Homo-oligomer: A and B are copies of this chain.
Amino acid sequence: MDLLDLLDIIGTFVFAISGALAAAEKRLDFFGTAFIAFITAVGGGTVRDLILGSYPLGWVKNIVYLNAIGIGFLCAILFRRYIISWRRTFSVFDTIGIGVFTVLGLQKALLLNVHPTIAVLMGMVSAVFGGVIRDTLCNEVPLIFHKEIYAMACLSGGVLFMILRFFDVNEPYVTISAVSLIIIIRFVAIRYQLQMRVWRYEEKK
């Protein structure tokens, strides 16, 4: 659980970097870039909490998320060249972030006693909606609507989580299995269909 919280913060940091890079690609200014980095990082969890009516929002309650975003934004600005050339490494963190966000979102929904299907949906929303808002604000059709593996990986992990939980598997194993499945699906998708791996800001060559 503590490890999940740490990964949640790291995921927020990584999502802020990926948001900032997407914004820089759109030639937004300094402020616009920070704004998009912020929305990409907290958008998914915020939409989930608004839907569930779960207040206060995580990033409003705990300032550490805002700090993680600020540091991520600075890293994106300062080390942009390096991050792009390390993007294979970076994508490992991005994928871990997706897995962690999905499971944390799902767990949060379950605490509120929603239907299992809703919980799985909320896990996916947590992981992907930041990117949906980022793309909409950048005036593009959201990336995940064209490249389904990203969201399908989250849904598969969520379903596995619910199945293992139904059979009373211990919580840590459930969590590790679900996060692992998401990561594996993503990596398999990346390896065998390279075009899905393509970064947003490279799609236009």
Contacts and interface: CB of A to CB of B under 8 A. Distances in A.
A160 interface: no
A52 to B, nearest CB: 7
B145 A36 contact: yes
Nearest to A116: B63
B26 A141 contact: yes
B52 A60 contact: yes
Interface string A122-153: 00000000001000111111101111100110
A135 to B, nearest CB: 9
A198 to B, nearest CB: 15
Nearest to A62: B115
Q: Please give the count of copies of this chain that the complex contains.
A: 3
Given A51-B46, A60-B51, A31 B141 contact: no
Interface residues of A, number: 40
Contacts of A93: none
B66 A118 contact: yes
A151 B46 contact: no
B66 A152 contact: no
Nearest to A151: B31
A148 B32 contact: yes
A68 to B, nearest CB: 13
Contact of A132 (B63, B114, B137, B146): B137
A139 B136 CA distance: 7
B132 A29 contact: no
Interface of A: 23, 26, 28-32, 35-36, 46, 50-53, 55-57, 60, 63, 66, 114-115, 117-118, 121, 132, 136-142, 144-148, 151-152
Task: Give the 7 A-B residue pairs with the shortest CB-CB distance, closest first.
Answer: A32-B145, A53-B55, A31-B148, A28-B145, A29-B148, A63-B115, A139-B141
